[in-house]
Amino acid sequence: MGKVGKGKATGRPSMFDVARLAGVSHQTVSRVINSSPDVAAATRAKVLKAIEELGYRPSNSARALASRRSRTIGLVAGGLRFFGPILSMSAVESVARSHGLFTSMAMVHEASCTPGEFAELCNTFDEQNVDAFVFLAPTDVMLDAACRVRVSQPTVIVTSTHGAVGMGECQSRLRSLGRSRNAMVGIDQWGAMTEVVRLASGFGHRRALYFAGPADWRDAATRLEAWRRASVRQSLQSVTVQCSSWDASEAYARMNHIVDRVGASGGRLASLVVTANDSQAVGVCRALHEHGLRIPQDVSVIGFDDMPAMDNMYPPLTTVRPDFERLGIMAMREVLSLLGEGDEPGYAVSSHGVGLIPATLVKRGSLGPVAIR
C-alpha cells in the first residue's frame, strides 16, 4: 500500500492508490498510463497530478492490464563470446527498457544450436507470453532455425546478407509459415569493403592476402564475397587464406607459414594483408613483427570491427568500424514498429530484404603506400 494524500508512505504506490487520490477507477488510471484517447482532459489531468504527487511509476504488469501485453521481448542470441553481438544485445536491452519493455534473454551456441533447441527456447518464451522476438543469428545454423521456427509474434532477425542460407530462401520459409510480421537488419559490409579496396588501391597496393573468417559465420561469408567483388573491380590481385576461427592464434600460425614459405621460395610477399576481423589482424601483425617485417613500410594491414585497443596497437590498426550499437537500436525500432508503437525505420541502404547499418573505415598507421622495390 502506498501513501495517500499527505499520509506516510508504507511502500511503493500502486495504481489503486493513484485511483483513490484522483477519485477515479483503476481502469481509468490504466487508460491514462497507456495513453488511451478515451479519457476526458480534466480526468487525465487529475490522474497525472495524482501520479506526480505519489511518485507513482507504472509497472509492466500495470501496463499489461490495459494493453493485454506482457511488455516483454524474447531475445535469442548467438555469438556472445564476441565483441559485435555483445554490443548489439546491450543496445536491444537498453532501448527496450527505455520504452517500458522487459527483455527476456536466452544465449545459445551459434554453431551447434539445432532447430529443435531453438524451437524449444521459443516455446518457453511463448509460455511467458512475450510480445515479440529478436533473433541475433550470426551463423547459417541460427538463421536457418530462426526462419523455420513456428511463432505467431512479430520477429526481427539480426544477420548478414550472404551465406549458405540465402535471404530469398529465408523469406520464402517465413511466408510459408504465415509469418508476415517480420523484419531483418544487418551491417553494410559491402559498402565497407568497397571503401577498404578503394583506399588500399589509392596507396598503390595491387597484391593482397585476405584472411577469411569461419565459413559458417554469415559476417565472414558476406565480407569475403564483398572483398572479392570489390577487388576485381579495382584490379587488386587477392589470395584468400581461409581460417576456421576468428582467433588471433590461427591467423598468427597461418601468417608465419606464409612468410616462411615465401622466404624459402625467394618469392615476394603481398604488400597488403586484410583480415575479416581485428583478432586475426593482431595475429598477423605479431607474425610480421617476429619476422622483422615493418608495418606499414613492408606490409600494410587492415582489420575489421574496430575492437577496443586497436587504436593503441603498434602501429595503430586501420580497420572498419561497424555500428553494432546502432544495429541493436534499429532492431528494437523494428520491434516497436511491428507492435504499433513507433514508425517504420528507414535505411539509407538495404539489400536482399535486409535493412543495413553503415560501417566506417578508420584510417590509422598500419596502412601506408607500397614501398618501391
Q: Is omega for the bond preceding 358 within 30 degrees of 0, making it cis?
A: no
Q: How confident is the model at residue 83 (pLDDT cuts 50, 70, 90)?
A: confident
Q: pLDDT for 196-243, tens place per residue?
A: 999 999 999 999 999 999 999 999 999 999 999 999 999 999 999 999
Cell of residue 109, nine digits: 551456441
Q: What's the pLDDT at 34? A: 67
- Domain map (residue ranges) of the chain: 15-67, 72-187+324-357, 189-321
151/159 Cα distance (integer angstroms): 19
Q: What is the mean pLDDT of residues 244-248?
A: 97
Q: pLDDT for 151-165, tens place per residue?
A: 999 999 999 999 999
Q: How confident is the model at residue 2 (pLDDT cuts 50, 70, 90)?
A: very low
Question: What are the residues whose beta carbons fall under 8 Å from the beta carbon of 235, sequence distance 6 or more?
Answer: 201, 206
Q: What's the pLDDT at 5? A: 42
Q: What's the pLDDT at 303? A: 98
Closest Cα partner for 334 from 127, 150, 73?
Answer: 73
Gyration radius from the chain CA atoms = 26
Q: What is the mean pLDDT of residues 91-114?
A: 91
Q: What's the pLDDT at 129? A: 87
72-187+324-357, CATH topology level: Rossmann fold (3.40.50)
User: Is the distance from CB of 118 to CB of 76 less than 8 angstroms?
Assistant: yes
Q: Is the pLDDT at 27 greater than 80, yes or no?
A: no
Q: Is the pLDDT at 275 greater than 70, yes or no?
A: yes
In this structure, of 165-169, 198-202, 248-252, 285-289, the range with the lowest mean pLDDT score is 165-169
Closest Cα partner for 73 from 83, 84, 87, 60?
Answer: 60
Q: What's the pLDDT at 59? A: 61
User: Is the distance from CB of 364 to CB of 296 less than 8 angstroms?
Assistant: no
Q: pLDDT for 325-339, tens place per residue?
A: 999 999 999 999 999
Closest Cα partner for 358 from 239, 242, 190, 147?
Answer: 190
Asked if the domains at 15-67 and 189-321 fall in one CATH topology, the answer is no
Pairing between β-strand 102-107 and β-strand 132-136 as defined by DSSP bridges? unpaired
User: Is the distance from CB of 193 to CB of 223 less than 8 angstroms?
Assistant: yes
Which of 73-82, 121-130, 172-181, 323-332: highest mean pLDDT?
A: 323-332
In this structure, of 50-59, 116-125, 222-231, 336-345, the range with the lowest mean pLDDT score is 50-59
189-321, CATH topology level: Rossmann fold (3.40.50)
With H, G, I as helix, E, B as strand and everything else as coil, classify residue 274: strand
Closest Cα partner for 71 from 363, 336, 266, 342?
Answer: 336
User: Is the distance from CB of 138 to CB of 107 less than 8 angstroms?
Assistant: no
Q: Is the pTM of this model over 0.75?
A: yes
Q: Is the pLDDT at 33 greater than 80, yes or no?
A: no
352/180 Cα distance (integer angstroms): 16
Q: Is the pLDDT at 250 greater than 60, yes or no?
A: yes
- 15-67 CATH choice from 1.10.10.10, 1.10.260.40, 3.30.470.20, 3.30.420.10: 1.10.260.40
Question: What are the residues whose beta carbons fall under 8 Å from the beta carbon of 107, sequence distance 6 or more?
Answer: 77, 78, 80
Which of 94-103, 107-116, 268-277: highest mean pLDDT?
A: 268-277
Q: Is the pLDDT at 271 greater than 80, yes or no?
A: yes
